[in-house]
Amino acid sequence: MGNILILYDSATGNTRQMAEFVASGAKSQNHNIRLKSIQQANKDDIIWCNGVAVGSPTNMGIVSWKMKKFWDKLGDELWGKIDGKIGCAFSSSGGWGGGAEITCQSILTILINFGFLVFGVTDYVDKNLTLHYGSVVAGEPRSESEKESCRRLGEKLSLWVSNIITDSKDENM
């Protein structure tokens, strides 16, 4: 049994809604789940988790400054000490083509920098929607397939965490 953190920043509530669906999907395996905004989360949540899904609004194609601040501050104490966790990304943008994929990529870049193993999902949740670099939605997650995209990310995170928790906990903190 492992520990999974869904960590989000949300300005309009759209990314928060995504986070809830991701959390719902993450329950597919028998792990402990924490759903927290960056206002609620702290370094202990990061140390605690074996896997994390990080969500941010799409702001100029890069993770929001508030989410970046969270990880920049965290780095002062934890960087280099928490390698080997699993990570993934999700983002809500103003429209398709607005940078949600690239924002997910910026989140993955941060997580890779921390030594995490990051992933996307090959599944199509609808004939026109997938989540190859993390879940992306234009606006709020309204359609069933958009909600399923978020849940699927959580499910996959949950699955990969099951695969690695045996050993990696021993080596890292």
- In degrees, rounded to 5, the angle at the alpha carbon of residue 43 between the alpha carbons of residues 37 and 66 is 45
Q: Pairing state of beta strands 129-131 and 121-126?
A: antiparallel
* Dist CA 161 CA 114 (whole Å): 17
Choice from 65, 77, 144, 173 touching a copy of itself (CB under 8 A): 65
CA 1 vs CA 49, 141, 161, 162: distances in Å: 11, 29, 9, 7
Under rule CB under 8 A, residue 101 binds a copy of itself: yes
For the CB of residue 44, give the shortest distance to a copy of itself in the complex, in Å: 20
Residue 106 in contact with a copy of itself, rule: CB under 8 A: yes
From candidates 100, 141, 155, 158, binder to a copy of itself by CB under 8 A:
100
Does the protein bind a copy of itself through residue 127 (CB under 8 A)? yes
Q: What is the x/- site pattern for a copy of itself, positions 139-158, by CB under 8 A?
A: x---------x---------
Q: In 10 A of CB 84, how many CB atoms?
A: 16
* Residue 114 binding a copy of itself, by CB under 8 A: yes
Does 3 sit near a copy of itself (CB under 8 A)?
no
